[in-house]
Amino acid sequence: MKFDTPATSNPIDQLKVVGRPTTRIEGPLKTTGRAPYAYERHDVAPNQAYGHVLGAGIGKGRVVSMETDAARAAPGVIAIVTTLDMAQLPKGKMNTAFLFGGAEIQHYHQAIAVVVAESFEQARDAAGLIRVEYARGEGRFDLTAARPQAKPVDADGKQASAEEADERVGDFEGAFARAEVTLDESYTTPDESHAMMEPHATIAAWDGGKLTIWTSTQMVAWWRRDLAITLGLKPEDVRVDSPYIGGGFGGKLFLRADAVMAALGARAAGRPVKLALARPQVANNTTHRPATIQRIRIGAGRDGRITAIAHESLSGDLPDGQPETAVSQTKLLYAGANRLIAMRLAELDLPEGNSMRAPGEAPGMMALEVAMDEMAERLGLDPVEFRILNDTQVDPSDPSRPFSQRQLIRCLREGAERFGWAQRNASPGRQRNGRWLTGLGMAAGFRNNLVVKSGARVRLGTDGMVTVETDMTDIGTGSYTIIAQTAAEMMGVGLDRVRVRLGDSDFPVSAGSGGQFGGNSSTAGVYAACVKLREAVAQRLGFNAADASFSDGEVRAGNRRVKLEEAAAAQELVAEDRIEFGDLSKRFQQSTFAGHFVEVAVDAFTGEVRVRRMLAVCAAGRILNPISARSQVIGAMTMGVGAALMEELAVDKRHGFFVNHDLAGYEVPVHADIPQQEVVFLDETDPVSSPMKAKGVGELGLCGVGAAVANAIYNATGVRVRDYPVTLDKLLEGLPDIV
């Protein structure tokens, strides 16, 4: 199905099932431990052995030799494969770092061996017996130090001259020089870890030349393709199965070493192998959010209208890597006739930097929305009103291109009213409750709406059950439920008559989970398949498909009614299709918006910060399931608090690794840290987005939160911190005198 014109009335608009607050259909399996995750697939292959990955102990250089005799003689050891046993394996299309093979070390904890043994403990112990000799190289581990060598990159992350890479509208330098009020500040965000609950884990089994992996991945089709490339297999000889995933946040988008090493270990051992990366390897072997150094300049008239805005960002990655696109929201969020957007990318020898929840906007808005607060203060304007004054209903760089929907002003106004923003003291450091300094902060939320082609297969069985099959994954987002709701709505049955099967590469290729595109795109693919199934049902029952309606388990037209199950009484009906998106995203700017509001309390003696309450008002198209959408947003809000207050991978700049590479040293917040979180969804549909008239929402809940927390801390203390995270040591010196 081609989606190239805005959606009109369709069966989803009935909203009998879609849009209803529905508890997760797989919830009972997860809460009772009956939903098997990758490492727990004990029944899928007999006689499983255990693999353990040995990671490189240097950040840059070469492996000179590996002594494995002691390890091979250790109890229970079945096989050992080292990086010196083979040439460097090819990279998959989505990989920046090489995953295995050869002597070169690109980053710390790069996989250099896998040990297979009868038990996990035996494999881990034997891995510790391998003696490795390295030739250490000169590594680049400091983003600030690498800044002079950074190269300009364009919006696609490709190196180009500054003239070609930088995006300019009007005359920024001239307008900024003429502006009556200006701001020119720099902000930094640190490297961050995904820190998902389930580590990267895989079980691998060979059947002749065919490989099956049961793994934890957000993108089944990408892993199948790239695993085939890396191991020199045909894609059809690789099967990937991933029905349940315990979190990903972007860290499981791309093929990782757990799958490759499990496959190599299983081939060497001649039996299935299960393998999980240890938590330090999740931080150093897999991907992370790269650090940024951002400079923001804003010029405005005394009336508060922005006349010039520039956002320049520096980040680093391995050779052939990509920048953290922290400037993306600044292209679109606020009006301003004269604009400059620029990115620079430095080559670093740290572990691979790549997508983490809301890449680009998440760190970018941590800077932009603090800058907007600082500018509002210089202008003597309320931060909410300053943002509203500079709203735009068109792409600022192309006024002929309107937003499909843009209710940012309503998000901000409604949020301010609900949160009690009018009671905020605009003078910082003036509100005190005992030993606690209290303050309110806010920020706009913004995340682009992406759409990706997505396929599904829908069956109407002889038992009258509707079964959906698609390789879409559920990373805790509620994919099972919203897909079931879509099929139930389209086929006119209750949720109890729908089965959903996900995460298997034998199923049609879906959008996958990532980029805030998964829910909207995958349900649109199910919609397309259901349209075909409805046509097949109507034909078999003798209805005109255009006239037939599907409701309450029946197919109806005129005075005639037939039970849906009768269409498949003799033989099941199967339909398969995918949604393909046309050029609507080029003709209309599709984005999602929010207003984030935060109240904090800061200990006047110690500088400790407590988040007391949070509110997000979101405009994100049709909300397919308010319960799962709310869960996504409050989870993202909590993640934003982590980015603001505690999350930072500490870089050892001598040896090139992340020091705090476990959940004892890398702290993350939990919901219990935040007593009150409220989420409001505006009643909105976006026919330009998809037949579902929905958009993504899971990453919008993060974008802007960090800045709202930092702005609240400033309001409470009068201390402006521009280097995240806002830890107490950065507050202590500037705290108001204690009377």
Active-site hit among 164, 312, 699, 733: 699
**Per-residue pLDDT reduced to its tens digit, 413-466:** 999 999 999 999 999 999 999 999 999 999 999 999 999 999 999 999 999 999
Kindly report the average pLDDT of the chain as a whole number.
Answer: 97
Alpha-carbon 280 to chain mean position: 21
Q: Is the pLDDT of residue 161 over 70?
A: yes
Query: Mean pLDDT over residues 29-52, rounded?
Result: 97
**Per-residue pLDDT reduced to its tens digit, 246-297:** 999 999 999 999 999 999 999 999 999 999 999 999 999 999 999 999 999 9
Q: Is the pLDDT of residue 570 over 80?
A: yes
Quick one: pLDDT at residue 449?
Answer: 96
Residue 551, C-beta contacts closer than 8 angstroms, at least 6 positions apart: 14, 16, 492
Quick one: pLDDT at residue 633?
Answer: 98
Fold (topology level) of 2-35+451-583: Aldehyde Oxidoreductase; domain 4 (3.30.365)
Query: Mean pLDDT over residues 138-166, rounded?
Result: 96
Q: How far is the C-alpha of 263 from the C-alpha of 86, rounded, in Å?
A: 14
**What are the structure tokens assigned to 322, written together?**
């990509």
Residue 6: pLDDT band with limits 50, 70, 90: very high
Runs of H (alpha helix) within 185-270: 220-231, 257-269
**Per-residue pLDDT reduced to its tens digit, 197-227:** 999 999 999 999 999 999 999 999 999 999 9
Q: Is the pLDDT of residue 738 over 90?
A: no
**Per-residue pLDDT reduced to its tens digit, 234-258:** 999 999 999 999 999 999 999 999 9
Residue 739: pLDDT band with limits 50, 70, 90: low
Q: How far is the C-alpha of 490 from the C-alpha of 9, rounded, in Å?
A: 13
CATH architecture of 292-449+590-734: 2-Layer Sandwich (3.30)
Quick one: pLDDT at residue 671?
Answer: 81
**Per-residue pLDDT reduced to its tens digit, 169-207:** 999 999 999 999 999 999 999 999 999 999 999 999 999
Return the domain boundaries, the chain: 2-35+451-583, 48-138+197-247+252-284, 292-449+590-734
- Per-residue DSSP letters for 702-715? TTTHHHHHHHHHHH
Query: Mean pLDDT over residues 336-364, rounded?
Result: 98
**In the chain, pLDDT over 90 holds for what percent of residues?**
99
Where b means 16+ CB within 10 Å and e means fewer, 37-69 reads bbbbbeeebeebbbbbbbbbbbbbbebeebebe
- Are the CB atoms for 711 and 441 separated by under 8 Å? yes
**Per-residue pLDDT reduced to its tens digit, 112-126:** 999 999 999 999 999
Quick one: pLDDT at residue 53?
Answer: 98
Residue 159: pLDDT band with limits 50, 70, 90: very high
Q: How far is the C-alpha of 81 from the C-alpha of 268, rounded, in Å?
A: 7
- Are the CB atoms for 286 and 226 separated by under 8 Å? no
The alpha carbon dihedral of 465, 468, 469, 473 has a sign of negative
Where b means 16+ CB within 10 Å and e means fewer, 416-441 reads beebebeebeeebbebeeeebbbbbb
Looking at residue 689, the DSSP 8-state letter turns out to be T
Phi, psi of 260 (to 5 degrees): -65, -45
How many Cα atoms sit within 13 Å of 83 on the Cβ side? 29
**Per-residue pLDDT reduced to its tens digit, 616-636:** 999 999 999 999 999 999 999
Which residue, 461, 329, 350, is CA-closest to 395? 329
Say what the alpha-carbon torsion angle 96, 98, 104, 109 is, to the nearest 10 degrees.
Answer: 90
Q: How far is the C-alpha of 637 from the C-alpha of 599, rounded, in Å?
A: 13
**Rg, C-alpha atoms of the chain:** 27
Length of the chain, in residues: 739
CATH 3.30.365.10 given to domain 48-138+197-247+252-284: yes
CA-to-CA separations, 282 to 21, 193, 252, 391, 676, in angstroms, rounded: 35, 8, 10, 41, 31
- Are the CB atoms for 201 and 282 separated by under 8 Å? no
- Are the CB atoms for 275 and 201 separated by under 8 Å? yes
**What are the structure tokens assigned to 309, written together?**
């805005």
Is-catalytic flag, 324? no
Query: Mean pLDDT over residues 59-73, rounded?
Result: 98
